[in-house]
Amino acid sequence: MISKTESYKQLLVPEKMPQHVAIIMDGNGRWAKKKNRPRLFGHSQGVKSVRNVVEASVEIGVKHLTLYAFSLENWNRPQSEVSGLMSLMISTIQKEFKTLHKNNVRIKLVGNLALLPTSVKEKVFETERITQNNTAMTLNIALSYGSQWEIAEAAKKIAIDVSQNKISPDDITPESFSQYLLTSHSPDPELLIRTSGEFRISNFLLYQMAYTELYFTDTLWPDFGKEAFYEAIYHFQQRERRFGKISEQLPSNSNQ
Ligand code: FPP
C-alpha cells in the first residue's frame, strides 16, 4: 500500500510544477493553545513543518520557496515571544544550515534586516554568503518583512537613481520596478499557501503576487506536512491560469 503522501506526489505533473511557492506559515500559537502548551512550543514544532516543505520542494523540483517567518508587525508581539522567536531562528539556521548547503540550497533573507539583533544579523549574513552559489533551490526567508515597506524602499532607491541620472523616469516599468524589490533574484510566485484558516495576505509580497494563485487551508502550520504540501500543489495544477486572456487562447496543456 502506498501512503497518501506518495499518492499525492505521484499525481503531480512535472511540466506544471510551480517554479516559486510562497507560504504564510500561520497557526503555531493556536496549535500550542489547543495542547495547553506555551506559544513558543508551537513555533518550535513549526520548524518541523519548515523542514518538511523544504525537503518536499527539493524532491519535486520547486526552484524557489519563500517562507514568511516574521513580519514587521510581529515586532509588536510580547517581548518574550519576540526574543524566543529570534533564538529559534538562529538555532534553526545553525542546525539546518549544513544539510541545506549539502543539498545545494541557496538561502536568502528578505526583510528589514537592520532591525534584527546583531547576533541574528551576523548568522544570516554568513549563511547567505556561504550558500550564495548554490543552485538546486533558493530558500527565501522573509524575516522582519513587510511588503509596503519593501515597495517604499524600492521607490526610494529608484528616486535616488533618477536624481543621480543613472536612470530616467521613462525607464520605470513594472518589470524594472520589480528589480528594485528584495526578491529580484526570484520569479514571482505562482502559488501562495496560507495555513490556519485565515483569508488574508498580511502585507506579504503584494507587488509580486499580482497573478499568484491563492490556496488557503484550515490546517495549522505545525500539522502541515509533505502530504498537505503536495495536496496544495495538486490543487494548483488543476487551476486554469488565464492572465486576463480567455480559455480558448491558452495552449491546451500549459499551466500558464
Ligand atoms: C505564525 O503563527 C508563525 C510565526 C509568526 C512564526 C513562524 C516561524 C517559524 C515556524 C520558525 C521558522 C524558522 C525559520 C528559520 C524559517 P502565529 O504565532 O501567528 O499563530 P497564531 O495565529 O495561531 O497565534
- Residues annotated as catalytic are 26, 74
* pLDDT number for residue 256: 47
Q: Among 23, 25, 94, name the best residue to mutate to test ligand 1's pocket (greatest count of ligand atoms within 8 A of Cβ).
A: 25
24 lines ligand 1 (CB under 6 A): no
Give me the CATH number covering residue 129: 3.40.1180.10
* pLDDT number for residue 177: 98
**Gap between the Cα atoms of 128 and 107, Å rounded:** 5
Q: For cell 510580547, what's the residue?
A: 78
User: Which atom of ligand 1 is closest in space to residue 71's alpha carbon?
Assistant: 5
pTM of the model: 0.94
| Residue 74 located in a structural domain | yes
User: Which atom of ligand 1 is closest in space to residue 39's alpha carbon?
Assistant: 18
- 68: CA distance to ligand 1 center in Å? 8
* pLDDT number for residue 184: 98
50 lines ligand 1 (CB under 6 A): yes
- 101: CA distance to ligand 1 center in Å? 23
Cβ pair 237, 16 in contact under 8 A? yes
Tell the residue nearest (CA) to atom 24 of ligand 1.
29
Q: Which structural domain, as residue segments, surrounds residue 211?
A: 17-146+188-237
96 lines ligand 1 (CB under 6 A): no
* pLDDT number for residue 252: 63
| Residue 227 located in a structural domain | yes
| Residue 98 located in a structural domain | yes
| Residue 256 located in a structural domain | no
**Gap between the Cα atoms of 24 and 109, Å rounded:** 15
* pLDDT number for residue 253: 55
Largest CA distance in the chain: 65
Q: How many domains does the chain have?
A: 1
On the 0-12 / 13-18 / 19+ scale of CB atoms within 10 A, 200 is exposed
| Residue 10 located in a structural domain | no
User: Which atom of ligand 1 is closest in space to residue 81's alpha carbon?
Assistant: 18
142 lines ligand 1 (CB under 6 A): no
193 lines ligand 1 (CB under 6 A): no
82 lines ligand 1 (CB under 6 A): no
Q: For cell 502585507, what's the residue?
A: 203
| Residue 215 located in a structural domain | yes
Cβ pair 136, 104 in contact under 8 A? yes
* pLDDT number for residue 249: 83
HSE on the CB side for 34, CA within 13 Å? Answer: 10
In this structure, the number of other CB atoms found within 10 A of the CB of residue 135 comes to 9
Cβ pair 32, 42 in contact under 8 A? yes
- Please give the chain's pLDDT, 256 residues, in tens: 788 899 899 999 999 999 999 999 999 999 999 999 999 999 999 999 999 999 999 999 999 999 999 999 999 999 999 999 999 998 999 899 999 999 999 999 999 999 998 988 998 999 999 999 999 999 999 999 999 999 999 999 999 999 999 999 999 999 999 999 999 999 999 999 999 999 999 999 999 999 999 999 999 999 999 999 999 999 999 998 777 888 888 876 555 4
| Residue 5 located in a structural domain | no
**Gap between the Cα atoms of 51 and 221, Å rounded:** 12
Tell the residue nearest (CA) to atom 6 of ligand 1.
69
- 221: CA distance to ligand 1 center in Å? 8
Q: 81 — phi, psi (to 5°)?
A: -70, -40
- Cell, residue 68: 514568511
Of 160, 195, 165, 200, the residue nearest 180 (C-alpha): 160
| Residue 231 located in a structural domain | yes
93 lines ligand 1 (CB under 6 A): yes
